Amino acid sequence: MNMNISLKKRSLLIATLLLLISSACEKTVDWDLQTEETDTIVVEAIITDEHKTQEIKLSKTISNMNDIPEPVSGAKVLVSFSSFEIEFLESEMNSGSYYSEVPFKASSDQIYNLSIESDEEFYEAQTVLVPVYPFTPPPFSYNEELGLYTLYFNTYQYNPIEQSMIEIEIDWSHLPGYSDPDSLSRAKMQYFFLKTLDVSYIVFPQDKEQVYFPEGSIAVFTKYSLTDEYGAFLRALLIESQWQGSVFEGARGNIPGNISNDALGFFTACGILRDTVVVGE
């Protein structure tokens, strides 16, 4: 009897401590953020193994979280591999977006080199493509109370074999009652498979809002293969954003990009697999 009471007291104490940790007092704080002007560029450069016109985006850094990045115009952008050199031309309609002058696709037997010249500054990066493994789209779960479906999937999973990202676009704007432009009829989600186990996610994870959608919605699953370097880059972004707020959150630090001359961002090549599913069929 005494032993049972003691165990109950210990369980109650542990539960109370966890409750105190997870529900600490909140206080409104006005942060005096120290900003620093940086004369560099931000590079968003992902080429894929799909035969298409590839895109690279260039922008300037921002000082405030809600600022809109200013595009970098007039840059000379080249991607070279083997004996080929492909120029990326800036869009006349969308400043800062550069498109390959000819369609091409990346392959796993090449090394790809990016070179950028902007305002008399030069930036370089190098990457390879790792193969993408087949995948099975995650199942849908039906909520009887709402009469709607949701994805039965974790936003982050450990995988010691490969690193990948799955992007899911769900559209139900074609269904009756959802054609109004003001109604919620589309959703886009990203899920990550990384080679690391992060306590900041496992303990009190900051999960995304649950998205519900009706039967007949069209879900497009796109899987991207990730190099180890790009996986580390995405993990650092997650630590700085979605995984903040946990009791065991990771230490903040610089995002490990691969662009020379102190530019921000990343240049990588990804293998792509796609699958389309009609919800409820």
Contact 114, 45 (CB under 8 A): yes
pLDDT in tens, the chain (281 residues): 444 444 444 444 444 334 443 444 445 555 455 555 567 899 999 999 999 999 999 999 887 767 888 999 999 999 999 999 999 999 999 999 999 999 999 999 999 999 999 999 999 999 999 999 998 888 899 999 999 999 876 554 666 778 899 999 999 999 998 887 767 899 998 888 887 765 555 444 455 678 899 999 999 999 999 999 998 898 888 777 666 655 555 555 567 899 999 999 999 999 999 999 999 88
Strands 264-270, 129-130: pairing is: parallel
* CA-wise closest residue to 151 among 83, 221, 90: 221
- The pair of structure tokens assigned to 239 is 């630590």
d(CA 47, CA 53) in angstroms, rounded, equals 9
- What is the SS3 string spanning 70-89? CECCCCEEEEEECCEEEEEE
Give the residue range(s) of CATH 2.60.40 domains in the chain: 41-128
Using CA of residue 163, residue 155, residue 140, residue 219, what is the dihedral sign?
negative
List, as one string, the DSSP characters of 227-266.
Answer: -HHHHHHHHHHHHHTTTTTSTTPPPP-------STT-EEE
CATH of domain 41-128: 2.60.40
CB atoms within 10 A of CB 93: 6
d(CA 151, CA 212) in angstroms, rounded, equals 8
Task: Find all residues with CB under 8 Å of 230, minimum gap 6, and list them.
Answer: 127, 163, 266, 268, 270
* CA-wise closest residue to 86 among 106, 68, 72, 69: 106
d(CA 95, CA 89) in angstroms, rounded, equals 10
